[in-house]
Structure 1
Amino acid sequence: MPSAYSLERAMGWDSVRRMSATALACSVLALGLFVGPFAQNASADTSGDMLLLNNQLRFAVGSPTIPADPRVVQAAQNHANYSSANGVGGHYETAGLPYYTGYAPRDRVIAAGLTTTFVSEVATGGSALGGVAQLWDAPYHRLGMLHPQATSVGWGYSTIGGRSSVVGDITYDFGFRAVDFVRSPADRQTSIPTSWSGHESPNPLPAGVSGPVGYPIMLIYSQGRNVAMRAAELVAPNGTRLPIYYAPQQFEYD
């Protein structure tokens, strides 16, 4: 069965690989989430609520809020329909199957009427808002959802065949710098989970480590600058230094 989280990069996404630094405080815990059999087309209210939650999460860490583009919304909805109707997860479609609209996320965005170079996609199952929250917790998926150079987003939700699918498509413009960098969680941000399940594909955890782990901390720099993580530390309120792991800059290429 497909994994709970997977992230699709379209043309040019390699430039994004250099922009994030992720630290995981490894205290151990596990929760299995899967994209698979789990809806109907998302209503405007559902898609709007998903956008609102995404933007609330962005605003909380100092990343500019972004609008929905109806073409990107349509592309996301199309893939959510495909995923639910066919009982599959992931980001690639097979021509001839019900609700097919394009092989990869960028193909589907173009088919919906928007020509763009940079497209990423996040997908999972479960409820509409629960899916958005789950994807945000997973660091390689949070990367796209919080990226300061994202320019538009579209969220889709489907329950065709009794299987729910949550899909977010995101477009980018790397020719401007809205902010220098974004950190998530932000400085002095409250109500942050103390742990994360550790379930994501690709797996950001070191070999032999399984979740739960400490909640992932991320730094995202603008405009594709090379960033080298030299040192960092996590200190508990009592002054104890906690174990920390620097996740590699990798994404799946399936």
Structure 2
Amino acid sequence: MKVSLFSTCLVDMFYPNVGKATVELLERFGCEVDFPEGQVCCGQPAFNSGYTEDAKKAMKNMIKAFEHAEYVVTPSGSCAYMFKEYPHVFEDEPEWKEKAVQLKEKTYELTQFLVHVLKIEDAGAYLEGTATYHTSCHMTRLLGAKSEPITLLSNVEGLQYVELPHKENCCGFGGTFSVKMGDISGQMVDEKVGCIVSTNADYLVGSDMACLMNIGGRLDRQGKKVKVMHIAEVLNQVPKTKRNEGR
């Protein structure tokens, strides 16, 4: 099975280990992964700020970059959902809308791809400790990926999953929201950190690095000893002897 990795801006520029873990995880389950070098931003920041015409330039570039792909997989529910929005953006441009629909139909967030396409609920991972999970807004409310991450985490050997209180609440990032509404954003992430600390978890796990960057920064500034991990990094925690299985 051939998979094209949509790495996302944050992963590509700041968290390359998440991209590496995603590739290693997919390869372990028999996928042939390529990285289209033409990919850039998906256009979400400009689109969410109301600059639709400017965002279209980035969107068209992404459509071209992944036109060859059999499947597109990304370690971000937020960015995966942006691809799902493309057909609506190009509603009045039939040629681009058709291509946007094709991209939409073959794009998956990582945990959705593992569970629904590869039919994997146990990734054979091992991580000792207690973990709680942050349900990012775009991934759960818009993309609809709610049970897949929890199913996969629940099957990690040695890991005890504890549900996060008020898990449905936003962490306060929201892209440009955290810049334009800094004071409110700060209060929201403080509330989120309080909920995380109350679980006594060793790990905070999530599926969107934007949220994890925001929460992780606050945890660090408050001196909280909670390790922040993307779910791809957790699922990639397997003994070296098992890394070549499934290839």
User: Relative to total residues, which structure has the larger strand share, 1 or 2?
Assistant: 1
Q: TM-score w.r.t. structure 2 length?
A: 0.30
